Amino acid sequence: MKRLIGWPRWSFWTWCCMLLVAGGVCAYYLRTVHAAGPTAAHLRDIFPWGVGVGLSVLCGIALCAGGFTVAATIRILDLENYKAIVRPCLLIGFLGYLVAFLGFVTDAGQPYRIGLLITWNSRLALAGAVWSLVLYAAVLALEFAPELCKRFGWREPPKPLRLLSMPLLLLAVVLSVLHQTSMADLLLGAPNKVSALWSTPQLPFLFFVSAACAALAAVIFASWHTSIAFARGLPANLVAGMGKALAALLFFYLGLRFADSISRGIPLLVQNNDLQSLLFGLEIGLFFMPMWLLITERDPVDPRVVYYSAVMVLAALITNRLNTCITSVEATTGMRYLPSWNEFLIAYGVIALGVVAFSLTVKRLPVFSETC
């Protein structure tokens, strides 16, 4: 007997992501339509940024800035051996900003929260965010223009239009880095509410370097899983080279972090058993362990070591951003932030949507291509 209703043939992880997206949509509807008052999201004036901003906005902008910066660096320096990671970096950069944009919109969906999230006019901020999203989409479209035109039977774009690719990419780098810097400056604008472990004048530059680390880690992570799911990924020698570059960036980041802490008289070792010190130690450990693994790994580099290192770097980025916007505020105010279930569902639903979009793009376009 034939089935009247056919279920999509999705993998287990695709079903998980789609369920998270559906759960996020339902949670956002319940929160915006039926919730009332600022206590509905378990946030107060003292915690203007919660899990939603920490996971989707801060981490999304980090991937955006890092992805476009790495892609532009490869193009400017004409690194022939690494041109295959340009497209994954551009796609991760675009989807990172899309996740950040959706995270901002969903978190600022309640009128009383908009004034806490930004310090300028909300309409101007959203307009700038939309135009930035259009710019990043244009960079991505020009990169995949030959394949898109061939798929839809269109003529290829004229050469003068393709020449805009590099200027638009540089503009995308500038805007994404400015977005990242503005988020760090907003945190530095309230020094009395942010712990000295994370409040530093070097925070914008530390955010930038950690974003570059996260972009490389995201490409390695994505290549590993797409090679398993679709048999499309980066060659092992290229992944090994990215692992070495990631180790160098991690060494540079930790050196900056330790030098900044020493100059401000902040102890480098965890001396207390409070939650703030433990989470700070976890953050530093998640940055240090992959660096150590990649530096001590002998040739030929095991792809599994590079993959596990990338996972730890992504976990370190998430820990750093959440520590910066939540743990540091808890440490200075002595209050505890308890996120609600709908905050978690909305944040993870937005992230899952970005994962699904990446998977669909890789399935239909040559993202991991050595000829790009």
Q: What is the DSSP annotation of 195-251?
A: -TTT--TTHHHHHHHHHHHHHHHHHHHHHHHHHHHTS----HHHHHHHHHHHHHHHH
Query: Which residue range forms the structural domain that includes residue 185?
Result: 46-334+341-364
102-145, pLDDT tens digit by residue? 888 887 655 444 444 444 444 455 666 777 888 888 888 888 87
pTM summary value: 0.86
Q: Is 324 contained in some domain?
A: yes
Inter-helix orientation angle 303-322/59-77, to 10°: 130
Residue 36 within a domain: no
CA distance linking residue 73 with residue 83, whole number of Å = 10
Mean pLDDT of the chain, nearest integer? 81
Lowest mean pLDDT among 42-51, 82-91, 92-101: 42-51
Q: What is the CATH number of the domain that holds 284?
A: 1.20.1630
Return the closest-CA partner of residue 103 out of 52, 61, 137, 62: 52
In a domain, 3, yes or no: no
Within a domain: 309? yes
Q: How many domains does the chain have?
A: 1
Residue 33 in any domain: the answer is no
Nearest Cα neighbor of 253 from 311, 203, 218 is 203
14-59, pLDDT tens digit by residue? 888 889 899 888 888 887 776 544 444 445 556 667 788 888 889 9
Amino acid letter, residue 214: A
Cα gap 359→17, rounded to integer Å: 11
Q: Is residue 15 part of a domain?
A: no
* Structural domain includes residue 238: yes
In a domain? residue 371: no
Each residue of 148-169: pLDDT tens digit?
777 777 776 666 666 788 899 9
ω into 300 cis (within 30 of 0)? yes
What is the DSSP annotation of 316-356?
HHHHHHHIIIIIHHHHHH-------HHHHHHHHHHHHHHHH
Q: CA triplet 210, 211, 213: central angle to 5 degrees?
A: 65
